Amino acid sequence: MDINDFPQAIHLTRANVSDRDGASAMLALNAENLRRVQSVLVDGGYSGRNFAMDVQLNLKATTQVAKRNELHKFEVLPQRWIIERSFSWLEKYRRLWKNCERQLHTSTTMVTLAFISVFIRRF
């Protein structure tokens, strides 16, 4: 997602692929489309040298980790809010609640259509 909530790349994987490995694959597959990206904001699950190296290698960008509040009190972090809000919008689409698709490209199409619907309603 960019700062305006527009997805820059969508890459779905099977359940046996970790989020970090899926994100690394997405970066490699979409490096040409993401060439203007200067910084990648990730949550604590993507912290680590290997993922940061993948970002640097594929995009020549830096990685920023937006960690949750260490004190375990509720506080909205602006960087995380954009992503969480976008996922919330997708949860409104019943077809995406459960993965009933047999093919990954069909699931990707459903996510794309959901985002198109969200943006049509917003503008």
Give the pLDDT confidence of 44-85 residue by residue, as tens digits. 788 778 889 999 999 999 988 877 665 566 666 666 666 677
pLDDT for 16 beyond 80: yes
The whole-angstrom separation of Cα 76 and Cα 63 is 20
Q: Percentage helix, strand, coil, to 5, in the chain?
A: 50, 5, 45
What residue ranges do the domains of the chain occupy?
Answer: 1-68
Q: Which helix (H) or strand (E) holds 62?
A: strand 62-65
pTM: 0.71
Phi-psi map region of 24: left, alpha, beta (phi>0 left; psi -120 to 50 alpha): alpha
Q: Check residue 48 and give its pLDDT.
A: 77
The whole-angstrom separation of Cα 15 and Cα 107 is 13
- Helix (H, G, I), strand (E, B), or coil: what is residue 55? helix
